[in-house]
Chains A and B, each alone.
Chain A
Amino acid sequence: MHVELSEEEQVFRDETRRWLEDNVPKAPLPPRETPEGLEKHREWEKRLLDAGYGAVSWPTEFGGGGLSHMHQAIFDEEYALAGAPLRLNEFGLSLAGPTILKFGSLEQKSRWVNRIVDCSDLWCQGFSEPGSGSDLASLRTRAVRDGDSYVINGQKIWTTLGHNANWMFALVRTSEGPRPHAGITFVMIPMTESGVTVRQITQLNGDRKFCEVFFDEVRIPIHNRIGDEDSGWAVAMATLGLERGVGTAPPGRFTRKFEYVLSLLRRAPEQTFEQGLDHAAVGRLAAQVVGHRYHLARLLDESTQQSGDGLGPSVNKLLYTELDVALHEAGLAALGQLGTASSGPGLMSDVAALHPDSEWVEWSRGYWYARAAMIFGGSNEIQRNIIAERYLGLPKEWKP
């Protein structure tokens, strides 16, 4: 098998690793959805940008680093392994930008892409609606043409970091017809426009990352459209492919969590084995981590070679979301009752001495987020439909 990185790629990896070692904040930043977290993350993004790591593989004329997808993957992996902060413009970098670069006009690229890289604009994703989750094509937020404008009415929901964003890429209905997919258009909506209302939703883990967004007679120019009118579905599917694909879940993230589980086991092996987290369970997790890593590595190769059967993103989404849940389950089992506690006042001093880091406090929060990931990005059940119908060629479900 070819597994080597080129000499130049190795140099890039080593430089990146060193830079991250020297620069990644030692203490975790406050969450992005809080005002102080937003500020801290902006400062961090500025440092990344100054070091040339804003958007490694995007073209230089739009503010990117002009390097290959392999470099991007190397960067993502090192970034995850270093435990660096979540990217502030996560949806701009992973979804909006690549979609604009692939489907946008030159004017649109010049207008939006640079401003994603330097975080002048923060983006959010407007796909799901209260009545349209897995059945995304049934969406009802309407855009009615009025001269050179669309007038938008409706509601989006589960919009991650919607309250931070000043732009949304969204799917809207531009025509009704027997085939709901054929009446959808991909548009860019300024969140600052009058008639846009954003409300944060408190999640079961206490986070307030997800939002609902209301549109009341919101007017946007037609040149905010990506692709043709009523042709937004194909653009959206490409975007979702990115969401399930290579860039979203670098293996290093799970490597890091797995190693943390190992460290918990080493600290208090007897307690953890009493909890039933035995050697075989650890070996099984290792196999899952390795399996995800090398499946993704194959996928990365296929996506740069334009080969493969196109199934990779769906398989990847199932692999990494279920791995993430399994890792959190193992971590919480290793922590036992402690997994529900925070490191704040009242914690027994012997426990605090055993766990001098505070990483474990994030595990119950992270567990619930991992559960959310099985639902978003096209639920895991939808991925199973895709695999069964498009890859195995099984017949569509019978509709009465």
Chain B
Amino acid sequence: MRFAFTELEIEFQDLVRGFLARYDAARLAGQDRGDLAETWSGLAHVGLLGALVPEQDGGSAVGYAALALGLDECGYAGVAGPVLESACIGAAALRHAREVDLSTPRRALAHGTLVISAQTHVNPLAVDADRAHLVVQASDGGRVNLLSGPLSVDRVQPAIDGPYRVFHIRGGAESLPLVDVSPSLIDAHASLGAAGILNGIARRLLDLTVQYVGEREQFGRPVGSFQAIKHRLADLVVELRRSQAVAAYAATAFDKELSDRFEAASLAKGIASAMSQEMSKSALQMHGAIGFTAEYRLGHWLKYELVMRNAYGTSHHHFAKVGAKLIEGVKRGPMFGLS
């Protein structure tokens, strides 16, 4: 029943937040976000990229609960792109591959000189693959491969300009099978990390909206004084906190290597996606027309949310997966602390 972040985890979150306070997502929105190098070295410096990299390989090894908080901060700051793919999915692949020695790329990841992208059967397009040195490829045939450069990729033109750049992967110079790594391990890390990012995006959408409805006046008073607005926002606070609680449990399940950790990651992504979808709808609705302009910064998080909501499995996909397992009762032992 005791369930609290450690001092180390809270300090880590403060560090990440401190660095990202200088990150100006709005300036970079709609462009190609300039050079990744500055962001990357900063995220390496605070220990985010090496959160899952062992200390002997130069990682911060702060663990999953800290990483989830860090990714939440990235979502809040609007850092789109291969943070989740590198720090969570890529790191997990490098860590669990035992047949080959991958300490060199692990070290490079922690030092901020390596960028990893990912491609899974539910996410066939790879984020920021043109900047990636490695791509984790999880096929539905039950194999995981690590592609290394030079990579051959095609930019997929987005339907609209947004914070997310995706690529079709034609191949890499080398493709290394990671026999110890299962596609479900990759999916679970994608889900866990994406839940963290979505919780951060939603928190930012909420903050922007609360600020706006407190200032915007109609009928001679702030629109935030109307109960129609207040109650909708209060419900979103509740949904956000619940989603954060599930994400914290899922991250803890990974830290403690609990047997239900993959299912917990699915629940975290499922509930985060459902919550963020509502947050997005309300945020734009409550901003009114101004939220619909390309100029105003809300759009950056709205578009980021839409991508992440459906990336690495929709809410329905994850809920159905866990629901089926629960009904079949295939899992032995307690699930989610349920007896």
Contact = CB atoms under 8 A, between A and B. Distances in A.
Given A2-B4, A297-B2, A315-B241, A384 B234 contact: yes
A294 interface: yes
Contacts of A4: 2
Overall SS of chain B's interface:
helix
B278 interface: no
Interface of A: 1-5, 70, 73-74, 77, 81, 255, 258-259, 262, 265-266, 269, 278-284, 286-295, 297-298, 300-301, 305, 311, 315, 318-319, 381, 383-385, 387-389, 391-398
A395 B222 contact: yes
Interface residues of B, number: 57
Nearest to A81: B339
A321 to B, nearest CB: 11
Contact of B4 (A81, A298, A318, A383): A298
Interface in B196-254: 210, 213-214, 221-222, 224-227, 229-231, 233-235, 237-238, 241-243, 245-246, 248-249, 251-252
B3 A280 contact: no
A287 B2 contact: no
B46 interface: no
B222 A3 contact: no
Given A1-B255, A280-B323, A315-B241, A294 B248 contact: yes
Given A297-B3, A298-B245, A388 B234 contact: yes
Contacts of B214: 393-395
Contact of B230 (A73, A74, A281, A385): A385
Contacts of B339: 81, 255, 259
Contacts of A258: 338
Contacts of A388: 224, 230-231, 233-234
Top 6 nearest A-B pairs (CB, nearest first) are A283-B319, A282-B323, A279-B323, A297-B3, A388-B230, A291-B242
10 contacts: A282-B323, A282-B327, A283-B270, A284-B270, A290-B267, A293-B336, A297-B2, A298-B3, A394-B229, A396-B225
Contacts of B292: none
A392 B234 contact: yes
A398 B221 contact: yes
Contacts of B306: none
B246 A394 contact: no
Contacts of B246: 287, 290-291, 294
B1 A283 contact: no
A396 to B, nearest CB: 7
Contacts of B241: 295, 315, 319
Given A3-B256, A293-B249, 8 more contacts: A1-B5, A290-B338, A294-B246, A297-B1, A297-B2, A305-B4, A385-B230, A395-B224
A294 B3 contact: yes
Contacts of B5: 1-2
Contact of B267 (A266, A283, A393, A396): A283
A281 B270 CA distance: 11
Contacts of A280: 316, 319-320, 323
A394 B222 CA distance: 9
B93 interface: no
Contacts of B284: none
A1 B65 contact: yes
Nearest to B271: A287
Interface of B: 1-6, 9, 65, 210, 213-214, 221-222, 224-227, 229-231, 233-235, 237-238, 241-243, 245-246, 248-249, 251-252, 255-256, 264, 266-267, 270-271, 274, 316, 318-324, 326-327, 329, 336-339
A318 B239 CA distance: 10
A329 B20 CA distance: 44
A77 B2 CA distance: 13
A315 B9 CA distance: 24
Contacts of A70: 1-2
Contact of B320 (A255, A283, A391, A394): A283
B85 to A, nearest CB: 24
Contacts of A318: 234-235, 238
A283 B2 contact: no
A270 B323 CA distance: 15
Contacts of B321: 279, 283
Contact of A1 (B227, B252, B326): B252
A304 to B, nearest CB: 9
A315 B267 CA distance: 20
B225 A395 contact: yes
Nearest to B336: A290
Contacts of A289: 336, 338
Scoring A258, A291, A311 by chain B CB atoms within 10 A of each residue's CB, the highest score goes to: A291
Nearest to B264: A290
Contacts of B266: 283
Given A384-B230, A392-B237, A293 B337 contact: yes
A375 to B, nearest CB: 15
Contact of B233 (A255, A293, A394): A394
